[in-house]
Chains A and B, each alone.
Chain A
Amino acid sequence: MGKKIMFYPGCTLKGVAKNLEDSTIESARILGYDFVELPNWTCCGAVYGLAQDSVKFTIANVRNLIKAQQYGKEIGDNRLVAVCSMCYNNLRRAHIDVMKNRDKLHTLNIFMDEEPDYEGNINVLHYLQFLKDDVGFDNIAKKVKTPLKGLKVAPYYGCLLLRPDEVAIDDREDPHIMENLLKTLGAEVVDYPLKNECCGSYHTVDKREYVAERTYKLVSIAKEVGADVIATSCPLCFFNLDRRQEIAKQKHGDFEHMPIVYFTQLMAIAFGLKSEDVLHFDRHYISPREVLAPWL
């Protein structure tokens, strides 16, 4: 067994993004870490409350942090890793929010009278940060069995890994963390100028056409700069870029499909984990199987 690390999957990973969950946990296992699901975790809230006095928006996440605090003491590690960009963003912001506003934390602690108080020492990390700072790209390189030589990848960060500034995992205008990981895996990274553009987010529910237009632009430019696939870490970005290609194709005759993958799937493939149990390509609208065939 590897070293135990607390893992916060979030709702999507338990449903449509099984491909993200399994490739994350399995790739971590290869690196010597046992990602243990945080016991009794609850929803992250999905959208962070922007109101200044939004105490109630913070409850769910602080409750998660308290659970991590308890379980973290059990396993002797205060790191809580999330891979869904939105979960990461919400958990990290909640932590910063209550650390900055002690009154808010006090109110929450009084309200949550069944739980112990939050002490403020949980280190919320995105999986990419964990890979870069705690594992180290050098160590990842040692585990690569099938270098993704010749695969051209456009890294796509979306917004939640980079904004607001206080939770950004890299430079918000010109991030490179995913590029560096993908290069470690042997892939060729294209200079993708739209890597931090908006995917359209929840407009996908009621304004599908809007989102399809974003998808058209994001995928077309990726193609223009020579990419074979777009890699992301956010289930919502994934859904919008992947599923909305259907409408994009209907609207634009010149549109060409491109598979969307999670960076963790590419990592799994590079580590030699190529079974459908880990990759779940059946979850993709545009199957990456053909494009990735040389490495599978």
Chain B
Amino acid sequence: MAMKRIGVFICHCGRNIAGTVDVKKVAEEIGKREDVALATTYIFMCSEPGQKLIEESVKKYNLDGVVVANCSPTLHEKTMRNAAARGGLNPYRVEIANIREWAAWPHEDNPEAATRKAIRIINATIEKLKANASLEPIEVPVVRRALVIGGGVAGIQAALDLADAGIETILVEREPSIGGNMFRLSETFPTLDCPQCILTPKMNDVAQHPNIKLYTYSEVESVEGFMGNFKVKIRKKATYVDWDKCTGCGECLRVCPINVDSEFDLRMAKRKAIYIANEQAVPLKALIDENTCIRLQFEKKVKEGKIKPKKNVKICSKCADVCEPNAIHFQNNEEIVEEEVGSIIVATGFEVMPAEAFPELGGKYPDVLNSLQFERLLAPSGPTAGIPRRPSDGKVPESIAFVHCVGSRDPQSGVPYCSRICCMYTIKQAMLVKHALPSTAVYDFYIDIRSNGKGYEEFYHRAKEEYGVNFIRGKVSKIYKVGDKYRVQGVDTLTGRIVEVDVDMVILATAAKGSEGVKDLAKKLRIPYDEWGWLKETHLKLKPLETPVGGVFIAGAAQFVKDITDSVSQGSGAAAKAMALLSKPQLEKEPLLAKVDPEICAGCGRCKDQCAYGAISIDPVRHVAVVNEALCEGCGACSANCPTTAIQVVNFKKGQIIRAVDVLAEVF
């Protein structure tokens, strides 16, 4: 039943539209249509009087459809629909004609053409609107639980906020302990708090919170379902130790004969084959690394038939022998658990490029480290007890050079962007070196110092003035070994001279990227990411925590590298977003979804193949496509691929689109 009493409201948008488009003439032209009961203009349709005008007009003229000609629907479609709804019109009988971005702005130099184009856009929109159906929002039930992926500071904050709000929260961390990169740090800028002091209370809160279920050494295996109703499979990796029994006493570590590089210490220290992630790990539990434990390796080879065990051979079981609670069982205890949640927060953090990626800057030498490795050498709880020493010979360095922007702002050998935190942590590290070793000479090569945070610039000046760090403005071109020293060859762009200094150690502030494996996780969640592994937000400015998948939010450095302040803020922000979602018993969903006409559908399945959301299945009995309304996002990919128009998006039917295109394509 086509509409006969349409109201058209043309917005001036100040001078944005009216400065170019002759809005009076547009109203006049549109008013001539038989199906238009009212065509009027107003200076700001989005203002309260503008909305009131729509509301009142719907009542006064008994309108059966509304077109608002203004800006992009992403800005005010909802506002206008609500205004019309207050007047008693079904909100899905409101359409937006975008005459600002499509007519006024691009044709500022030709007002006459812009006016003609605006009329045409409105006419096309009316044609589309005329076949719009009245719709009601769809209601979906909500599981009042949340999942946080990643146990760094952003994930910890998100989990704590959710749990405090009474929402049962599952926190999944792939490392054996939560804490993330922040827990590796020596001290934090600009307050010089140590993470052992400020992060451990939060970590312990996570462990003890009645509303938090913690899965460490676990990874998300698969995600199914939709906003409000996700089904998540979590793989708990094999620890070969019964964590219910393990007390974290550490006796087993003392007797284990195998030494390997510690992941937590980024190769700056060794750990045993049976290990606890670090001394303040949460949870404080031991686990066996199956790739280095001689017993597990032996058993694996026997199982694979590679070796035949001799009789009565005694295989190492030293750890189990000393374990008083009998927690070590050497059994593969990997398991998959399933959890149902209503919302998911992804807080997978970042990683920094390895120094080895920059051989020209000496990355191949043992005493040339990346900054995160150096954090371990500066940390009081680290392998050198906070006094930096050269990994090659244990010597305390008499001179250290820091190099900023290694791989950052360098599209040819790294990434095009600024990694944002390096200036500040490098200044902090330079300061800490001076703290620990006042007589050590510190050279800091920078392009420019980016200290844009509260207290950051002051911190930089302290490093210069109080600590006497030598800041040299210029890039380093090469670092190589000469005798026992490393020669740093760079330029001082303030004096225009080449600079060469011989130092004992070099620290490279390498570029940050999204953490390893994040792309696979993003694929499981169906959320977008960029080539550097940063997860993509819905809108950089206005929706930084949202993703295009309803109910899935991002927080912290998973979106882009962030300092601690920003990561914590985002963790809380994402938690608030999830709470808003989970606070409702039912979720309302836009009803603009795909609908199948079973009379026409042949069940060919092309729509199913195209659906990115897994919303379509083929009914095996009736042999027709069926749409799961909770999953469907109304994108229309199915409709475009349907050979018979059996599947169409409601209010975007083929006839509507074709009639609109007919108007738009008419020859001027």
Contact = CB atoms under 8 A, between A and B. Distances in A.
Contacts of A197: 478
Contacts of B481: 193
Contact of A173 (B359, B480, B482, B483): B359
Nearest to A224: B482
Instruction: Describe B's contact surface by its main secondary structure.
Output: mixed
Interface in B367-418: 412-413
Given A173-B359, A173-B360, A174-B359, A165 B480 contact: no
Given A173-B359, A174-B359, A174-B360, A193 B412 contact: no
Contacts of B412: 165
Contacts of B359: 173-174
Interface residues of B, number: 9
A197 B489 CA distance: 11
A30 interface: no
Nearest to A193: B480
A224 B478 contact: no
A165 B413 CA distance: 11
Contacts of B413: 173
Contacts of A173: 359-360, 413
Tell me which of A193, A221, A224 has the highest count of chain B C-beta atoms within 10 A of its own C-beta.
A193
Interface in B449-505: 478, 480-483
A135 interface: no
Contact of B482 (A165, A174, A221): A221
A193 B361 CA distance: 10
A224 B485 CA distance: 12
A99 interface: no
A93 to B, nearest CB: 18
A194 B360 contact: no
Nearest to A174: B359
A202 B551 CA distance: 65
B363 to A, nearest CB: 10
A193 B478 contact: yes
A194 B360 CA distance: 9
A194 B478 contact: yes
B357 to A, nearest CB: 10
Interface string A158-186: 00000001000000011000000000000
A270 B482 CA distance: 31
Interface residues of A, number: 8
A224 B502 CA distance: 15
A256 to B, nearest CB: 15
A224 B483 contact: yes
A194 B478 CA distance: 8
A190 to B, nearest CB: 12
Interface string B551-585: 00000000000000000000000000000000000
Contacts of A224: 482-483
B403 to A, nearest CB: 14
B558 to A, nearest CB: 31
B301 to A, nearest CB: 36
Interface string A208-221: 00000000000001
A96 to B, nearest CB: 17
A167 B60 CA distance: 74
A197 B477 CA distance: 10
A174 B363 CA distance: 12
A26 B440 CA distance: 57
Contacts of B480: 193-194, 221
Contacts of A165: 412
A194 B489 CA distance: 11
Interface string B131-142: 000000000000
B362 to A, nearest CB: 8
Contacts of B482: 221, 224
Contacts of A174: 359-360
A224 B484 CA distance: 12
A161 B102 CA distance: 51
B300 to A, nearest CB: 37
B503 to A, nearest CB: 15
B502 to A, nearest CB: 12
A129 to B, nearest CB: 21
Nearest to A172: B412
A174 B359 CA distance: 7
A221 B480 CA distance: 10
Contacts of A194: 478, 480
A173 B483 CA distance: 22
Nearest to A220: B482
A246 to B, nearest CB: 24
Contacts of B478: 193-194, 197
Nearest to B481: A193
Contacts of A193: 478, 480-481
Nearest to B483: A224
Nearest to B480: A193
Contacts of B483: 224
Interface in B511-567: none
A193 B359 CA distance: 9
A92 to B, nearest CB: 19
A295 B16 CA distance: 83
A165 B411 CA distance: 12
A194 B413 CA distance: 19
A168 to B, nearest CB: 11
A148 B483 CA distance: 27
B499 to A, nearest CB: 14
A173 B407 CA distance: 13
A197 B481 CA distance: 15
B215 to A, nearest CB: 42
A296 B478 CA distance: 36
Interface string A57-69: 0000000000000
A210 B598 CA distance: 85
A10 to B, nearest CB: 29
B547 to A, nearest CB: 36
Interface in A182-237: 193-194, 197, 221, 224
Interface in A20-36: none
A173 B478 CA distance: 9
A86 to B, nearest CB: 22
A197 to B, nearest CB: 7
A225 to B, nearest CB: 8
A197 B487 CA distance: 14
B365 to A, nearest CB: 10
B185 to A, nearest CB: 30
A174 B483 CA distance: 21
The 3 closest A-B pairs by CB, nearest first: A193-B480, A173-B360, A174-B359
8 contacts: A173-B359, A174-B360, A193-B478, A193-B481, A194-B478, A197-B478, A221-B480, A224-B482
Given A193-B478, A224-B483, 8 more contacts: A165-B412, A173-B359, A193-B480, A193-B481, A194-B480, A197-B478, A221-B482, A224-B482
